[in-house]
Amino acid sequence: MDTQIITTVIAGLLLAVAALGTIIPVLPGSLLTLGTLLAWGWILGSGASWWSAGIGMAIALAGWSASTVLTGRNLKKQMIPRGSVFLAVALGIVGMFVVPVLGLFLGFGVGLLVGEYSRRRNLTEALRASGSALKAMGTGMVVEFGCAALASSVWMIGVIAHFSTR
pTM of the model: 0.78
pLDDT score of 98: 85
The average pLDDT across 102-113 equals 82
Q: Where do the structural domains in the chain lie, given as residue ranges?
A: 3-164
Task: Give the tens place of pLDDT for each residue, 130-160.
Answer: 888 888 888 888 898 999 999 999 999 999 9
From the centroid of its chain, how far is CA 19?
A: 8
